[in-house]
Amino acid sequence: MLRSIGNRLGFIVLSLVVISALTFLLMQLAPGNFLELNVIMRPEALAGDTARIREVEAAFKARYGLDKPLWQQYLTWLKGAVVFKFGPSFKYPTSNTEELIAQGFPVSASLALAATAVAILVGLPMGIIAALRPNSWIDYLITFISMIGVVIPNYVVAVFLILLFSLWLKLLPTAGWGEWYHWIMPVLALCLAPLTSIVRYMRTSLIDTLRQDYIRTAWAKGGTERQVIFGHALRNSLIPLITVLGPQLGYLMVYSVLVERFFLVPGLGAYFASAALERDYPMLVASVTFFAAVIMVINLLVDITYRFLDPRIRYEG
């Protein structure tokens, strides 16, 4: 087990190097840059003064080390990334990128955890009910409702929630952060996708478990419905669900960008979206690498948890 975990950690490190290198290269090849978008392209900024523009460009490149060869820029960035030092952001020059990540990620993580909790509380009972009444009208209804989360993106759900709760019912503000009610619409917008997965996996897993021989044996020994379903079948059906919850949690942390922008949530997604639009390379590369690390670490923890929940599983080094 320890050897397998060590191999996985080595694979994670190698993957992060590749991801960061590709992101770094793609950002350099993308048209436009931060300086052009925010200074040079604005007539009121330098008023077409060519000499001043060149002076600003030279100072900017020297400030961020952009006057060095591309490979040297990346190695400098990688050296700092090893100790979680990503350097200053273009847009927020007084703040280092790691400070912005440390400031925004707890908000995004809290939002993702809250959405996952709501999805579990609602999705598990729906999946159980559908599995206990297969091919009935209630099964079809629950399946239909759960499929909505597959076809409707979370930002579309966010727009609908704003229309419903803010414009029509006038119960919640359209955006903001800091009070408990600011959590309601972002959490609802994010929980639909994981809820869909939980319902589908819970239904499929429980139906499959109920068909197993040991369940038939439990029935034959005179077990009650409560004992057989909740004491045997449900407990074993929950184990495969662990493999769904981990990636879903990582998905919510990464793909909450538009939802955070809609509701003005000061999470890491807001910094990520702003960095992509304004070509803030340090923030963008650091965010992509950090998000990738979060997803891969969560997947590793899920595998370890799965191993303890089901001792039949063995690691292969």
Per-position DSSP letters for the chain, written without gaps between them: -HHHHHHHHHHHHHHHHHHHHHHHHHHHHSS--HHIIIIIT-HHHHTT-HHHHHHHHHHHHHHHTTTS-HHHHHHHHHHHHHTT---B-SS-TTSBHHHHHHHHHHHHHHHHHHHHHHHHHHHHHHHHHHHHSTTSHHHHHHHHHHHHHHHS-HHHHHHHHIIIIIIIS--S-SS--SSGGGGHHHHHHHHHHHHHHHHHHHHHHHHHHHTSHHHHHHHHTT--HHIIIIIIIHHHHHHHHHHHHHHHHHHHHHTTHHHHHHTT--SHHHHHHHHHHHT-HHHHHHHHHHHHHHHHHHHHHHHHHHHHH-TT-----
pLDDT > 90? residue 49: no
pLDDT > 60? residue 42: no
Arithmetic mean of pLDDT, 279-302: 88
210 vs 18, residue with greater confidence:
18
Instruction: Indicate the class that CATH gives domain 101-309.
Output: mainly alpha
Return residue ranges of the chain for CATH 1.10.3720.10.
101-309
- The string of pLDDT tens digits covering residues 90-122 is 888 888 899 999 999 999 999 999 999 999 999
pLDDT > 70? residue 314: no
Mean pLDDT of all residues in the chain?
83
* Percent of residues, the chain, with pLDDT higher than 90: 21
**The pLDDT of residue 118:** 93
- The string of pLDDT tens digits covering residues 53-71 is 777 778 878 888 888 888 8
Q: Which of 32-46, 201-215, 278-292 has the lowest mean pLDDT?
A: 32-46
**The pLDDT of residue 56:** 74
Confidence of residue 317 (pLDDT cuts 50, 70, 90): very low
pLDDT > 60? residue 43: no
36 vs 75, residue with greater confidence:
75
Q: What's the pTM value of the predicted model, to 2 decimals?
A: 0.82
pLDDT > 80? residue 283: yes
pLDDT > 60? residue 24: yes
**The pLDDT of residue 269:** 80
- Taken in order 203, 204, 208, 211, the sign of the CA dihedral is positive
169 vs 239, residue with greater confidence:
169
Confidence of residue 173 (pLDDT cuts 50, 70, 90): very high
Confidence of residue 17 (pLDDT cuts 50, 70, 90): very high
